[in-house]
Amino acid sequence: MTERPSMGRRVARVVRWIFVDDLATKLLALLVALGLFVAVRNEVVKVVEIPVQYVPDPTRVVRSALPEHVEAVLRGPWGTLARLESERLPPLRVRLSDLAEGPLVLDPRGLVLPAGVRVERLRHRRVDVRFEPVAEVPIPIEARIVGVPAAGYRVVGARASPDEWFVRGPVSELEGIEHLWTEPVDVSGARHDLIAEVGLAPPPADVEFLSSRPGGVPVVRVSVRIAPSAIRRTVRIPNFDGRGELEVTVVGPPRAFEAVDDLEALLVVEPSADGDGHPRVRVTDEAPPEVRRALRVDAVRVLSGKPRADTSSRPTARDAGADGG
């Protein structure tokens, strides 16, 4: 009858099989398992929000609202990714010239990441990218005049130098710009011509000035002409044929009238060139040049009846004050 091994022997055999038999192979397997455990434990996944920086395309502008931030799904060592909590990653640089129209696809290779960290994917809202061509064109400049000159004076004209400026922007935006405005030029109380150097008012958001320092505003010189307001004076003078009178309205600046002692004496009456009987009135060539250039015959009306005996140059009841014209 065969003797059965005792319980102690059986336990000894099991222990020997576990710890002694094929010990080298088992140690190697243990080391491999430990290595895999450490490797898997040391690599983690983390989602980080990263800003996006778009590099402009010189030939076109994007007309879609692109995302300002994206979520990057990163994989890498636990310690490295943990430090990203307090470290700010550089923005994702995207060249607009590399984008195609249609669904937005961002290239994760534009990210600068710490060693050992890689991007699994980028997450952002869906965007349908649309572009529009840009152009560079000159736009006329208009001076913006504010305020009112002194009493008896008016703004005759205003001119900017240069009178146009080149801008760059989407074609659709440029088509809607008739002129560029300057910043306001105040003429309040002015009695003489003004010269001011002012900047140009900002153009629409997608349009930029050319030939200007980065972030700067072009400066132009605005010349404003201030002149006395014109007034009207109506006088009566004999007709050229001595029959009846003419009522003549003369327009000019106050200073021109102040230089004249006898307005009627400066008016010359002639028959019309076509002989229709209607007289023509002009300022005589014998008047001082500055008066002759400033005064203008505005209206002539033929009055019936005999000529008046008194044709003094005192203003009649129809004399008018400043009319702003």
Average predicted confidence (pLDDT) for the chain: 81
Amino acid at 168: R
The model's pLDDT over 52-89, given as tens digits with 9 standing for 90+, comes to 999 988 888 888 899 999 998 988 887 777 777 656 77
Same fold, 46-131 and 137-228: yes
277, pLDDT greater than 70? no
**256 neighbors 291 (Cβ within 8 angstroms):** yes
Dig out the tokens for 138 from the structure: 């000159």
DSSP for 97-122?
GG--SEE----GGG----TT-EEEEE
Percent of the chain's residues with pLDDT above 90: 30
178, pLDDT greater than 90? yes
Cα 93–chain centre separation: 26
Please report the pLDDT score of residue 303 as a whole number: 86
CATH fold for domain 137-228: RNA Polymerase Alpha Subunit; Chain A, domain 2 (2.170.120)
Q: Which of 26-30, 70-74, 79-83, 245-249 has the lowest mean pLDDT?
A: 26-30
Please report the pLDDT score of residue 30 as a whole number: 66
Grade residue 153 by pLDDT with cuts at 50, 70 and 90. confident
CATH number 2.60.40 given to 46-131: no
Dig out the tokens for 104 from the structure: 């937005």
| Full-model pTM | 0.51
Please report the pLDDT score of residue 309 as a whole number: 45
How far, in Å, are 18, 158, 224 from residue 143 at the CA level?
98, 6, 9
Q: How far apart are CA 312 and CA 236, in angstroms?
A: 9
Grade residue 275 by pLDDT with cuts at 50, 70 and 90. low
Residues in Cβ contact with 128 at an 8 Å cutoff, skipping those fewer than 6 apart = 64, 102, 103, 104
Q: How far apart are CA 261 and CA 272, in angstroms?
A: 27
Q: Domain ranges in the chain?
A: 7-41, 46-131, 137-228, 231-303
